[in-house]
Chains A and B, each alone.
Chain A
């Protein structure tokens, strides 16, 4: 247990460094790369904290898709960030205020892994005792997602499939008439 805390600490320090670098580096390509690194570090922290499925989402969406989408945006815009000279005191205060409110909110949370926390008392005991009897799956999370909420998951898959097709349609540029003409000319020459 104590080893995991040290690993977490090192990863969080890397995370802070990456976050500061995203703010201070002006080259937008580097910022896209750094945000990918940020997601990967965040995914490692989730894995160390035992939230493997959240880590999956973070790695595939954060490091995979959103880096690619950011690069797609960079292809349209430029590669350098304009330096803004506006005062950033008010935004900083708002961020610090929101952050301290969130930290204040964590004081009311039950301890990490506390078996008597309300969330573990509601329906969880029933799932834990009956899941294997009902479905025959050793992993309860998988059983809930794929069996108890099977139709829900099917709908989600449909949504993701539609979104994937939409992204593919957006990313694949159709050839303009000019390009088609150029290609035809090239073919005639050959």
Chain B
């Protein structure tokens, strides 16, 4: 059961990797990174149960938090082109939409 889910998670990581390399748009790549982060979280949980160490769940949760903050920062960058003072709608970054 856990072996099957591990194989499925590894396959998903491979597919996300293909999407990250081939693109084509910026958002495909951010989504691919987010996907790999989520699958890493799941992989850690699956490996934890596979090797009889259920305490890996706690570790996986911290990974989810790191992943969340990282993706928020990336999306903020792609929308505003900077990390500071960016709640201003005049600062919209227009040249970064495609590639």
Give residues in A with beta carbon < 8 Å to B: 3-4, 7, 10-11, 14, 17-18, 21, 25, 27, 29-30, 33-34, 36-37, 40-41, 43-44, 47-48, 52, 55-56, 59-60, 63-64, 67-68, 71-72, 74-75, 79, 171-173, 175
Given A47-B47, A67-B70, A67-B73, 13 new contacts (CB under 8 A): A17-B21, A21-B17, A30-B29, A33-B20, A36-B33, A47-B56, A68-B77, A71-B73, A72-B77, A72-B82, A75-B81, A75-B82, A173-B85
Which one, B21, B37, B77, contacts A40 given CB within 8 A?
Answer: B37
Q: Are A44 and B43 in contact (CB under 8 A)?
A: yes
Q: Are B10 and A18 in contact (CB under 8 A)?
A: no
The SS class assigned to the A binding surface is helix
B51 smallest CB distance to A (angstroms): 7
Q: Are A33 and B32 in contact (CB under 8 A)?
A: yes
Which one, B59, B69, B77, contacts A75 given CB within 8 A?
Answer: B77
The SS class assigned to the B binding surface is helix
A18 contact set on B, CB distance < 8 A: 17
Whether B94 sits at the interface, judged by CB under 8 Å, is: no
Q: List 10 A-B contacts (CB under 8 A).
A: A4-B51, A27-B99, A33-B20, A36-B36, A43-B63, A44-B44, A60-B66, A63-B37, A68-B73, A175-B85
Q: Are B13 and A41 in contact (CB under 8 A)?
A: yes
B16 contact set on A, CB distance < 8 A: 37
Residues of B in contact, count (CB < 8 Å) = 41
Q: Give A72 to B84 CA distance when docked, in angstroms.
A: 10
Known: A47-B56, A67-B74. A27 touches B83 (CB 8 A): no
Known: A68-B74, A173-B85. A47 touches B69 (CB 8 A): no
Question: Closest chain A residue to B46 by CB distance?
Answer: A7
Whether B92 sits at the interface, judged by CB under 8 Å, is: no
B87 smallest CB distance to A (angstroms): 13
